[in-house]
Structure 1
Amino acid sequence: MARTRTALLSVLALLAGLLSLQLGGPAPRATAAPAAFTHPGVLVSRAQLDYARSKVQAGQQPWKAAYDNMMGSSYASLSRTPQPRAVVECGSSSNPNHGCTEERQDAIAAYTDALAWYFTRDSKYAKKSIEIMDAWSATITDHTNSNAPLQSGWSGATWPRAAEIIKYTYDGGWPGAGRFATMLRNVYLPEVSNGSATTKNGNWELVMTEAAIGIAVFLDDRSAYDKAVSTYLDRVPAYIYLTSDGDLPKPPADSSIDTKAEIIKYWQGQSTFADGLAQETCRDFGHTGWGIASIADIAETSRIQGQDLYPKIQDRLRYALGFHTAYENGTAVPSWLCGGSVKKGLDQVTEVGFNALHNRLGISMSNAQKYTEAHRPSGTDNYFNAWTTLTHADNPS
């Protein structure tokens, strides 16, 4: 009897699923993860690295200037001593700051050294990158205080970029790679994928999702990758507005923000919306730039992994880049936008998205082009953006 009842329930469940599809009910989202991950494959691929390296070796610009900028930075110093902490405590605006700056900057240094290794083939840089990653994987156990998810996103977005290059291109070996993977899985991944930032300003969840996708690639974790892509596809429409969304922007998924008043408050009090306006535009362009950068970075990683997300988000990214760079370039701010005044400072966050949309997809982007070319070579913001002119400028690979 129990077996018959179980079989009957299974049939009823199947029929209910079919009926849901017939009535237009929600269908499961398709798997986003590739059957096999491409390595190195977080933000930069081997082909992209080879292209940029060839340009540097030929002394061509802007790559040579970008390379010199990177190699002359403190992040490329072979005398750098990593400063790991067991518990990184970061409060609001990194106050208190117990290891927050050191963690972010050591992650950028590990990535810088990994790039330096690839461009020079000097093993000293690979060993320095490994030294930094090993020091942290042997020490850190947790992030605490209110900025723990954001701090984990900033550092967690950078660590896998370094680890991918070292593990898959350095032939000198990395005995500590397994321990580093354990660190990413146990210390970072739970923090950046726990859904704790749905009502925070959007740059939080976007960089956390960037970290989750990069970590998933390094771990060859298809489930974590799928979860991160699902979060991304929900968050991007809630961060960048298109007129096709209707009178109001889309609210963050699974959040308590759902009324008109709540949405306007979440969008910094902005009640008039235009293509490319972002949820943080009227806060400042700096935080908005971080959100835009993560949107592009995630799409770039997805493209390398063979499941290109650019077609799903390209209109939002295109309009956001054009909207904000227009004002950075000097366009007068209209009275309906942020009360007639915006806080500029987009920083050097446009290179990845501009290259993908303009150079690969052939989309005309005059404002973004003017801004991007005027701000080369890009350096690092000391949080998670680093050396994108070197790796992505006019890079067709």
Structure 2
Amino acid sequence: MARRLSAVLAGVTAAALLAAGVATADAGTTTVTAKAAGSGFAHPGVLVSRGQLDFVKAKVRAGAQPWKKAYDAMMASPSASLGYTPTAYKVVQCGPYSNPDVGCGAERRDAFAAYTLALAWYLTGDERYAKRAIVIMDAWSGTITAHTNSNDALQSSWSASVWPRAAEIIKHAYRSWPNSARFATMLRKVYLPMAQADRSSWNGNWELTQIEAAVSIAVHLDDRTLYDKTVARFRKRVPAYIYLASDGALPKPPPGTSIDTRAEIVKYWYGQTTFVDGISQETCRDFTHTGYGVAAISHIAETSRIQGRDLYPEVRDRLRHAMGFLARHATGNLPSWLCGGKVDNRWVGPVTEVGFNALHNRMGVHMPATEKLTVGQRPTGNNNLMSAWETLTHAENRA
């Protein structure tokens, strides 16, 4: 289809293509329609847009930092190998903390490899990377049928948040992908039910990850009804995950649950009884899982901004306070009022780059603690869980 479209458009000037909503690309790419007809969705449009990708490409080609260092790290990673071989499972079985692990790690690694290879193709123009990404996505879309065990919804949603990132770049910025419809069917039939499963009373990073997966799937499927329904779910869930003093004496209860008394809310917040701006439902559990929730919020808001519905102004104060809270308390002694003065795990992963870029660089929010943490972690790599190469894709990227 892409070849036929290119032939039809032969001889048309780049300016005319852009005016018609069609963008041109470098060698190794074909023409691409910016928005699917009648859908209102921008493509590529999950976490990264064409404008953002072009910004990164220009920075890398100029050897500018931190993008060049981040790019070199990505290209040297196993995920970018042209010999990468997927290991697809028919049924992925994941228990608590991936024990048992029957395809859990393989699924996440393969999803991130597909995304890494899609990025590598876009930035280099070498179509071998796109073809390898397609091999990975085709292997899974032709194999998987279900997720099982206690971590089914979370595991599925971790992967389903990433698969569409790769699929968006390949489908909408590369040439024909014969099995793209089968991949879309996989997202709707295998992954979406898990993203919509009721986990509202579980730790908040679960539902936020599910919401990220559902938003990403909705964009790739051009499903406006699903997208609007999921964004509405997001708008209710964020205030129940990150506290602001304006909420009152207690955090907001998670929507759709029976958690509503003071005792129940305190228990849900791991025994915390003093609430200040930016503390999260999982802060006293550990900072790493709290970071997963922060990452999901940032990713959802970023995708929605690309789609023309900017949610950052609505979540700005909660997100900036949450990232600042994590950054300030990641090291040093904790005050006695916070989690009894002890949190066993205060490691904050590579989860702040997207949100920091949006709030600080685009919106001008002063965030010194978050800036120190973010810059100090550069270039962020691939954790095969929530985030990959976000210094490369989002550092100082105002596109």
Do they fold alike, i.e. is TM over 0.5?
A: yes
Partner of 1:31: none
Structure 1 residue 231: Cα displacement: 1.2
Q: Distance in 2 between matches of 1:199 and 1:251?
A: 9
Percent pairwise identity: 61
Partner of 2:19: none
Is 1:159 matched up with 2:163? yes
User: Which aligned runs of 4 or more in structure 1 are off by greater than 6 angstroms?
Assistant: none
Partner of 1:270: 272
1:310-360: CA deviation from partner (whole Å, max 9, x where unpaired): 1111110010011110122x4542110011123311111100000000000
Structure 1 residue 80: Cα displacement: 1.2
Task: Give the structure with higher Rg (CA).
Answer: 1
- Secondary structure of the structure 2 residue equivalent to 1:83: coil
Q: Is the 8 A contact 2:39 2:222 kept in 1?
A: no
1:196-225: CA deviation from partner (whole Å, max 9, x where unpaired): 210110000001100000000000001111
Q: Distance in 2 between matches of 1:229 and 1:193?
A: 13
- The amino acid that maps onto 2:244 is L
Q: Distance in 2 between matches of 1:80 and 1:331?
A: 41
Partner of 2:261: 259
- The amino acid that maps onto 2:76 is G
Partner of 2:250: 248
Which of the numbers 217, 220, 223 marks the counterpart of 1:218?
Answer: 220
Q: Distance in 1 between matches of 2:110 and 2:290?
A: 24
Is 1:319 matched up with 2:321? yes
Is 1:199 matched up with 2:204? no
Partner of 2:4: none
Q: Distance in 1 between matches of 2:214 and 2:81?
A: 28
Q: Is the 8 A contact 1:193 1:228 kept in 2?
A: no
Q: Is the 8 A contact 1:104 1:384 kept in 2?
A: no
Which of the numbers 377, 385, 388 marks the counterpart of 1:386?
Answer: 388
Q: Distance in 1 between matches of 2:84 and 2:168?
A: 21
Partner of 2:335: 334
Is 1:230 matched up with 2:232? yes
Q: Distance in 1 between matches of 2:221 and 2:335?
A: 47
Supply the RMSD in Å over aligned alpha carbons: 1.0
Equivalent residues in 2 for 1:71-90, closer than 5 Å: 71-90=75-94
Q: Distance in 1 between matches of 2:333 and 2:305?
A: 36
Partner of 1:57: 61
- Secondary structure of the structure 1 residue equivalent to 2:147: strand
Q: Distance in 1 between matches of 2:194 and 2:72?
A: 35
Structure 1 residue 384: Cα displacement: 2.6
Which of the numbers 133, 140, 146 marks the counterpart of 1:136?
Answer: 140
- Secondary structure of the structure 2 residue equivalent to 1:41: coil
Q: Distance in 1 between matches of 2:306 and 2:322?
A: 23
Q: Distance in 1 between matches of 2:177 and 2:69?
A: 31
> TM-score scaled to structure 2, two decimals?
0.89
Partner of 2:179: 176
- Structure 1: segments with no counterpart, 5+ residues: 1-33
Q: Distance in 1 between matches of 2:84 and 2:372?
A: 36
Q: Distance in 1 between matches of 2:311 and 2:79?
A: 31
Q: Distance in 1 between matches of 2:185 and 2:123?
A: 28
- Secondary structure of the structure 1 residue equivalent to 2:161: helix
Which of the numbers 119, 127, 134 marks the counterpart of 1:115?
Answer: 119
Q: Distance in 1 between matches of 2:386 and 2:79?
A: 13
- Secondary structure of the structure 1 residue equivalent to 2:177: coil
- Secondary structure of the structure 2 residue equivalent to 1:143: strand
Q: Distance in 2 between matches of 1:78 and 1:262?
A: 51
How many residues matched?
361
Partner of 2:46: 42
> TM-score scaled to structure 1, two decimals?
0.90
Structure 1 residue 57: Cα displacement: 0.5
Structure 1 residue 276: Cα displacement: 0.2
1:139-166: CA deviation from partner (whole Å, max 9, x where unpaired): 0000011110001110000000000000
Q: Distance in 1 between matches of 2:39 and 2:183?
A: 23
Q: Distance in 2 between matches of 1:132 and 1:384?
A: 19
- Secondary structure of the structure 1 residue equivalent to 2:397: coil
- Secondary structure of the structure 1 residue equivalent to 2:92: strand
Q: Distance in 1 between matches of 2:106 and 2:383?
A: 14
